[in-house]
Amino acid sequence: MATKLEKAIKRELEIDGTAYMITISPEGVKVTQKGYRKGQEISWRSIVSGDATLNEQLNASADATRPE
């Protein structure tokens, strides 16, 4: 049987030599570069409803149209 997520869990993750803090909470998931307060956050409701995928696709298409 799985344990209910009742409080935030923090874990560190390193990607390409940069450390990030991952916070998994009952509200959602937040990824912040270590040493900073602001980061990317997404709610569980957005993930389950598919809004997260739609948002990712919109960001990718916007990035593709920006001049370099």
pTM above 0.85, yes or no: no
Q: What is the pLDDT of residues 2-45, one digit of tens each?
A: 999 999 999 999 999 999 999 999 999 999 999 998 988 888 88
Check residue 9 and give its pLDDT: 97
Check residue 45 and give its pLDDT: 85
Check residue 56 and give its pLDDT: 72
d(CA 63, CA 30): 22
**Lateral strand order in the sheet of 18-24:** 9-15, 18-24, 28-33, 40-43
- Given pLDDT bands bounded at 50, 70 and 90, which one contains residue 61? low
What are the domain boundaries of the chain?
Answer: 9-65
